[in-house]
Structure 1
Amino acid sequence: MSGKEHVSALRDLMRQEHVDAVYIGTADPHQSEGVATHWRAMQWFSGFTGTTGYCVITLEKAAFWSDGRYAAQMERELDSSVFELCNTSVQGTPGWMEWLVKNVGAGSVLSMDGEVLSIADFRKCRDYLKQYDICIRHEANYPGMLWIDRPDIPDAPVWELELLYAGESRKDKISRVRSAISDRNADCYLGCCLDDVAWLTNLRGGDHPIYPIFHGYLLITPKEVCLCMDEEKLSAAIRTHLEEDGISIFPRNEVFPLISRLTSGSRILMDPYKTSLKLFASVPKDVHIIEQMDIITYLKSRKNPTEQENIRTSNLKESAAIVRFIRHIYDRLETGTVTEYDLVRDLEIFRRMDPDYLMPANLAIIAYGPNAALPHYRPTEEIHSEVKKEGMLLFDICAHYKTGTTDITRVIPTGPCTEEMRTDYTLALKSNIALATQRFVYGMTGDVLDGVSKAVQWNHSRHFGHGTGHGMGYLLYVHEGPGKIITEFAPPFPYARQVPLDTGMLFSDEPGVYKPGRHGVRLENNLLVQEECVNEFGRFLKFETVTFCPFERSLILTGLLTKEETAWVDHYHEETYHKLSPYLNEEEKIWLGEKTQPLV
């Protein structure tokens, strides 16, 4: 059926069920960053293939929302005679609840799928809509009832992350989680987020093409640790190892009856931003719910010494691949035409040269010229640009190695560049250095440090609209909470303003300069938070740069750098050559040596 036919069939069902509107989004029961096709009802229903979007269907109208990255795609893939197209990046565009209020009357009923709706999102919607006498029904998934050929939940096998990579055993992690449960005056814990489940169990999976996760839940009670997942994903050996470590295996949906059988008077911890309304509703009335940030969210954010050392290694492996990739780009430019999408495919050749490489950690951003002014632009096989022998090329690429996850952005010249381009490159570099070299007293959150990087550009009457950095996972999600270096509230990181940065946390450092229709610059390294000192003024922290990939000396205007910044770049390049050389052949080392010469 087409989108128009899906809307018609849904309206027939709505009339039968006495529902006035249906909301269809892109979430799954785990509030995942990457959602399996099993839960992508919005794409199936509308025909829109982008990763971000949502729609609302009433008995008379329908509207679809996505951001500016997908504006052209919305127009191309959606039937405008069926859907009103709403670009959330355009000022004045009504939000979906505002639109709904204008298109249904008081006493109306809105359906939202409680299996994928978080507690926090439900309350936000409920509190807004009750002002207009609109109630939410959350027991049914009406689009799912129509989705006859709905894909199954992925069934890829899981694998164990060995101790030399994980750095801490399952037993030790469980012990720490139990201590944290007790510290919070609770006796039970519910974990829904897939990276949290993977972290505690030291398991990784293949349920998503760019995130090594598997679908499951954790329920920890005073008597047992319950891992609820599709059991066929487990080999006999892994199952034995889990049971030896005190983990009991249950079918994935058994989490609901397990929760419903909690002992009267129990106190269970759950995160309202990560727990679905359906799970919340399954908790018995005589069990006390304590709503807090997920325990594991914080524990896994502080990488242990083994993880930190492995992160340094993975960054060197990825940087060596990037050196080869840059040389390849110039070779292709000399021998013929090349497109952004060609380079997306070529990149994998150089990564696969390392036996520890597993998969991309995000869809590659390779953006030439004006495309680089769009921070989240991604070329596709259908839509991409040719890379020409002038201007600049930006690539923002993420990778999973057995030794960790990387996120690196560089900009290179593909031919002559203007003074304006070089100025913007240099200002982005200055912002990058500002965060990397900033010391700070313990207690600082990401919103404070965001200003450190942006102040550099404010002094030159420039500003970039995204956060300077995000927390990073270890062979999990490349974007990880609780921390994010951003001034504004960021919904995927609801605790960013509450949780201070601390030792072992890993962040990206990625300031940019974007000039729509002309060019864009972003320069990104990865930073580990380390101890600086403790004195009479308090406990002080610093950043350790763990990414070593050359900056483009030909784009740096040394007159805009301070003496300290110049010294930092020269030392960084000296370290880059020293650290990357063991990963390169002689020809590659000569090339890198030329790229890492002193600025002056």
Structure 2
Amino acid sequence: MISSSRIEQDCSFKCTLLQKKMSEKSVDWLVLTSLDEVAWLLNLTGSDLPFSPLFNAYVVVAKDGIHLFVEPSKVSKDVEAYLELFKVKLHGYTDIFSYLKTKCCFGKTWLSQKCNYAIVSCIPLASRVLTSNTPVAMLKCHKTKLEIEGILEANNRDAVAFCRFLHWLESNVKNGGITECSAGDQLNAFRKDEIGFVAIGFDMMSCAGINSSVLLYCNSPDHDTPIRADEMYMIDSGGFFRDQGCTDSCRTVHYGNPTDFEKIAFTLVLQVHIDLAMAVFPCGTKGHWLATIAKMPLWKHGLDFDTNIGHGVGFFQSVEGPHGIYISQEPEVVAEAQDKELVAEMFLTDEPGYYDCGKFGIRTENTLLTVKAETQYQKEFLKFEVVSFIPIQKKMIIKSMLTEEQISWLNNYHQQCFEVIGPRLIKRGFNATYEWLKEQTTPL
């Protein structure tokens, strides 16, 4: 169960919010099958999945309250007492099917279009109300004050580990013997030194050389590639921190002599990253509207990438929708992107890239928080605040390609990295990494 120190809304309060949404939709039942939605509603965590603190369960929200369908052996006495406190009714995990067939066949039942067939088929066609997202998916995008504080702290702890890792890698890569897997293990070892670290947030992408050009590449002991100083290396990783939140960051580095085109591509990706981070936009903007603005630096040079620029980030849960900077012609992605407007107090990633198939790949990723922007005419506008403080390798940047505004943003960002993470390194006795960070964050 998530510590109460980070919970401002108990499950009774959340249930009332959902029942109000159900009344507005004129439905009698709401079925939740997405595990992160179940966890959000109940303020509970588990360990059934390898990279998310979630548990296998279903929930039905009815007019009389919450019905939880879960394997009884997974419910401890403490959790059972907690559920009783909020009048959550317990059922066996597989009892969901008979419940849907005997109860939810009367009236209207609200389900997500992403529901599996076994669940949907229990509801008569005339009784189904299918939408791209459930109201839970929409509600949990907005973070409470305590959740925001937790996610900020999680990112600061993660940045300490990430800076130690990049310092270690730069100091040792030219000696040889470091592989994709051993590098990933070393980053996780540094994370384990941080208070509250629970587990990595997803299958780490530690990509050496041409492997960095493979989108969503997964390193494996079966094909563990050495990291060489004269090739690109990209690492995309995140972690869960108890009572704080989860993180997601990516850096691409080169410790040899990169080609001119590699530096051009790196700088263009950085421009996309910076332009999105600097964006000011009306409250209610759809995330994918920002994608066109952000990708202009690459497009002007005839380059592009086919992936989404950013996705939502949950509080001690997982990658989160439906908000994000989505780019796709896939119907379900289009529906997801159309469903959610950007408002204040949302977290999402800024992760543009460029992937030259069979040669190299580049991605630079930070997590952003939407906040209110002060504008000349006091309209309701938003901007982003960066919450990931990990330096970006300056040797890969062609300064002359950047605008003065982009250079100012990068220098200010690096100053923040030093001011926020530097004191943490000194306090922990990581003096060598402090000196490394000081050098990495000098003005461009």
Normalised-by-shorter TM-score class: over 0.9
1:137-176 correspondence runs (5 A) = 160-176=1-17
Distance 1:329 1:446 in 2: 35
SS at match of 2:37: helix
CA contact 1:262–1:284 (8 Å) conserved in 2:
no
1:23-34 correspondence runs (5 A) = none
Distance 2:96 2:263 in 1: 56
Distance 1:289 1:506 in 2: 32
CA contact 1:432–1:510 (8 Å) conserved in 2:
yes
Q: Which residue of 2 aligns with 1:291?
A: 130
CA contact 2:368–2:385 (8 Å) conserved in 1:
yes
CA contact 2:109–2:123 (8 Å) conserved in 1:
no
Q: Which residue of 2 aligns with 1:314?
A: 154
What's the TM-score once normalised by structure 2's chain length?
0.93
1:364-443 correspondence runs (5 A) = 364-402=204-242, 403-443=244-284
Identity %: 26
1:534 Cα shift?
Answer: 8.2
Q: Which residue of 2 aligns with 1:547?
A: 388
Distance 2:57 2:343 in 1: 29
Q: Which residue of 2 aligns with 1:139?
A: none
- In the alignment, residue 308 of structure 2 is paired with which amino acid? G
Answer yes or no: is 1:488 the counterpart of 2:328. yes
Q: Which residue of 1 aligns with 2:431?
A: 586
1:538/1:404 CA distance change after superposition, 3 Å: same
- In the alignment, residue 405 of structure 2 is paired with which amino acid? E
Answer yes or no: is 1:571 the counterpart of 2:416. no
Distance 1:264 1:580 in 2: 56
Q: Which residue of 2 aligns with 1:23?
A: none
Gaps of 5+ in 2: none
Q: Which residue of 2 aligns with 1:595?
A: 440
CA contact 1:442–1:538 (8 Å) conserved in 2:
no
1:263 Cα shift?
Answer: 7.0
Distance 1:530 1:471 in 2: 15
CA contact 1:447–1:488 (8 Å) conserved in 2:
no
Distance 1:207 1:492 in 2: 26
Task: Give the root-mean-square deviation of aligned CA atoms.
Answer: 1.9
1:282 Cα shift?
Answer: 1.9
Distance 1:492 1:312 in 2: 31
SS at match of 1:291: strand
SS at match of 2:193: coil
* CA radius of gyration, larger in: 1
SS at match of 1:189: strand
Distance 1:570 1:316 in 2: 19
1:510 Cα shift?
Answer: 0.7
- In the alignment, residue 587 of structure 1 is paired with which amino acid? A
SS at match of 1:495: helix
Q: Which residue of 1 aligns with 2:44?
A: 203
1:119-518 correspondence runs (5 A) = 160-262=1-103, 265-273=106-114, 275-283=115-123, 288-292=127-131, 293-402=133-242, 403-478=244-319, 480-490=320-330, 493=333, 494-518=335-359
1:233 Cα shift?
Answer: 0.7
1:559 Cα shift?
Answer: 0.5
CA contact 1:451–1:487 (8 Å) conserved in 2:
no
Aligned length: 437
Gaps of 5+ in 1: 1-159
CA contact 1:448–1:487 (8 Å) conserved in 2:
no
Distance 2:11 2:423 in 1: 34
1:396 Cα shift?
Answer: 0.9
Residues 325-373 of structure 1, C-alpha deviations (whole Å, 9 max, x = no match): 1122123324442111211222211010012111111111111222211
Distance 2:400 2:104 in 1: 69
Distance 1:534 1:264 in 2: 52
CA contact 2:29–2:104 (8 Å) conserved in 1:
no
Distance 2:368 2:409 in 1: 15
When structure 1 is superposed on structure 2, of 561-570 and 369-378 the one drifting more is 369-378
CA contact 2:251–2:392 (8 Å) conserved in 1:
yes
What's the TM-score once normalised by structure 1's chain length?
0.70
1:537 Cα shift?
Answer: 8.7
Distance 2:347 2:58 in 1: 25
**Which of structures 1 and 2 has the larger relative contact order (alpha carbons within 8 angstroms, sep 6+)?**
2
Distance 1:161 1:234 in 2: 15
1:172 Cα shift?
Answer: 1.8
SS at match of 1:290: strand
Residues 121-150 of structure 1, C-alpha deviations (whole Å, 9 max, x = no match): xxxxxxxxxxxxxxxxxxxxxxxxxxxxxx
